[in-house]
């Protein structure tokens, strides 16, 4: 249990570093880690230019994992993602693939426009995603892939592609950064590369920590929380939100992963929030938040604060997220941008939590914000 807690803290610090400077993408960073610990894959849906690849790349850098990234197209050849045939071995009559630096050797992967791949590529990907094996000719190797993140502009309507998409258990829907955060976007984009390098170099988490948490998630005793998962599925069905049987069974992996990421071996009511992200459409996720509001009221996560708050809207989760975002604002360089962020965090604090019900940590961070704003008056 001690090792589990140490790995959870290390990963938590790595994710904080990975998300630094990425405006409104903390949920995506969290979900990459959740999917990896659960042994599942993540599909990100959103328009181009919304920092999807950057977020995944940051997580890979923070963990020091072998990373593979590729933009698929209609004419992409399988050799472009799995490697070319070894010509030397081919002359000897043996068909082997040179996989060095390619997807079969990656620990974290990002495939942009994943549904544009040919049938040959999708069939190859199915074996890699489902079985963690790569087979081609005489090549048959285990794949060290912890998580593959696929990205697309929309969920496909084509039945064959929809079946492939169902292999991505976790779904994240992103939109361009809103008007209220444009100043943060401009400032964050300016410093993003510096922050990424600092976070990658100094946070201390490694893929071994990810594996230790994944092992704990696989070994978790789900007996106590299984009735709550079943009740969540019943409420989703009653609300018209359908999940395939495959997804229903795999909900347990997400719940167990959420607990492990918080350093706990036994999942509980606080760990049910990932169920929302297994719902495959944006509309369905919105319905799930409403239908499951009561069940998710106890949601909380010290490791994945943004995702837990986004999924559940629970008071504890929202408070934890506010503490994290306010602390980041307080740690930033002084100036008009910092003052604007601090004022925004104070407004969120006051709007979401009346003074008598405000958690101790949130009250303390609000006091620090007030002190900081008083010490840095607005320019005349």
Residue in this structure with the two tokens 């607990």, named with its chain if needed: 259
pLDDT of 94: 75
pLDDT of 204: 58
pLDDT of 229: 97
Cα separation, 326 vs 345, whole angstroms: 6
Q: SS3 string of 242-311? A: CCCHHHHHHHHHHHHHHHHHCCCCCCCHHHCHHHHHHCCCHHHHHHHHHHCCCCCCCCCCCCCHHHHHHH
Q: Is 169 helix (H, G, I), strand (E, B) or coil?
A: coil
DSSP 8-state symbol, 221: -
Cα separation, 366 vs 356, whole angstroms: 13
pLDDT of 200: 46
Cα separation, 71 vs 76, whole angstroms: 9
pLDDT of 92: 76
Q: Is the dihedral of CA 349, 351, 354, 355 positive or negative?
A: positive
| Continuous segment of H or E residues that includes residue 69 | strand 67-71
Closest CA to 301 of 277, 280, 285, 282: 277
Residue 207 CA: distances (Å) to CA of 33, 37, 65, 107, 116:
11, 10, 6, 8, 30
pLDDT of 201: 43
Q: Is 159 helix (H, G, I), strand (E, B) or coil?
A: helix
- 22 alpha-carbon distance from chain centroid: 13
Q: Is 110 helix (H, G, I), strand (E, B) or coil?
A: strand
Helix count and strand count (H, E) for the chain: 16, 7
Runs of H (alpha helix) within 25-86: 26-38, 52-63, 79-82
Closest CA to 38 of 170, 202, 230, 182: 170
Of 3.40.1440, 3.40.50, 1.20.1070, 3.40.720, which CATH number belongs to 1-66+144-313?
Answer: 3.40.50
Cα separation, 286 vs 311, whole angstroms: 9
Helix crossing, 26-38 with 52-63: angle to 10°?
60
User: Going residue by residue through the chain (380 aa), what tens digit of pLDDT does each one get?
Assistant: 478 889 999 998 899 888 887 888 899 999 999 999 999 999 999 998 888 999 999 999 998 889 999 999 989 998 999 988 877 777 777 778 888 999 999 999 999 999 999 888 998 899 899 999 998 888 889 999 999 999 999 888 888 788 889 899 999 999 887 776 666 667 665 455 545 444 444 445 689 999 999 999 999 999 999 999 999 999 999 999 999 999 999 999 999 999 999 999 999 999 999 999 999 999 999 999 999 999 999 998 988 999 999 999 877 777 777 777 777 777 777 777 677 777 777 777 777 677 766 777 777 878 888 888 878 766 55
Segments making up each domain of the chain, as ranges: 1-66+144-313, 316-375
Question: What are the residues whose beta carbons fall under 8 Å from the beta carbon of 88, sequence distance 6 or more?
Answer: none
Other Cβ atoms within 10 Å of 364 Cβ, number: 13
Cα separation, 365 vs 323, whole angstroms: 6
pLDDT of 192: 53
Other Cβ atoms within 10 Å of 7 Cβ, number: 25
Under 8 Å between Cβ of 278 and 247: yes
pLDDT of 375: 80
pLDDT of 104: 95
Closest CA to 104 of 47, 76, 142, 69: 142
Residue 152 CA: distances (Å) to CA of 110, 144, 163, 243, 274:
11, 24, 15, 21, 21
């Amino acid at each position: 249990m001690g090792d589990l807690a140490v790995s959870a803290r290390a990963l938590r610090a790595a994710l904080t570093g990975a998300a630094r400077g990425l405006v409104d993408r903390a949920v995506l960073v969290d979900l990459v880690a959740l999917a990896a610990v659960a042994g599942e894959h993540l599909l990100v849906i959103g328009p181009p230019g919304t920092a999807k690849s950057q977020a995944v790349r940051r997580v890979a850098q923070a963990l020091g994992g072998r990373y593979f990234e590729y933009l698929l197209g209609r004419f992409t050849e399988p050799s472009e993602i799995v490697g070319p045939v070894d010509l030397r071995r081919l002359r000897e009559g043996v068909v082997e693939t040179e996989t060095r630096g390619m997807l079969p050797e990656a620990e974290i992967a990002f495939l942009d426009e994943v549904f544009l791949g040919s049938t040959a590529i999708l069939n190859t990907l199915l074996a890699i995603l489902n079985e963690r094996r790569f087979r081609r000719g005489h090549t048959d190797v285990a794949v060290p892939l912890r998580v593959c993140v696929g990205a697309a502009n929309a969920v496909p309507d084509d039945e064959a592609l929809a079946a492939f998409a169902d292999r991505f258990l976790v779904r994240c829907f992103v939109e361009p950064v809103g008007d209220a955060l444009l100043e943060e976007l401009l400032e964050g984009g300016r410093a993003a590369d510096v922050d990424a390098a600092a976070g990658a170099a100094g946070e201390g988490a490694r893929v071994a920590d990810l594996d230790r948490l994944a092992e704990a998630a696989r070994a978790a005793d789900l007996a106590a929380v299984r009735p709550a998962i079943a009740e969540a599925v019943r409420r989703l069905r009653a609300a018209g939100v359908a999940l395939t049987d495959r997804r229903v069974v795999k909900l347990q992996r997400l719940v167990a992963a959420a607990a492990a990421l918080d350093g706990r071996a036994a999942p509980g009511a606080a760990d049910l929030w990932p169920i929302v992200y297994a719902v495959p459409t944006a509309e369905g996720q919105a319905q799930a938040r409403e239908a499951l509001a009561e069940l998710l009221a106890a949601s909380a996560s010290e490791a994945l604060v943004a995702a837990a708050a986004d999924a559940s809207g629970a008071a504890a989760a929202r408070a934890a997220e506010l503490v994290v975002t306010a602390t980041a604002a307080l740690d930033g360089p002084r100036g008009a941008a910092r003052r604007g962020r601090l004022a925004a965090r104070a407004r969120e604090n006051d709007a979401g939590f009346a003074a008598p019900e405000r958690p101790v940590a949130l009250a303390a961070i609000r006091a620090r914000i007030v002190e900081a704003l008083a010490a840095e008056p607005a320019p005349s």
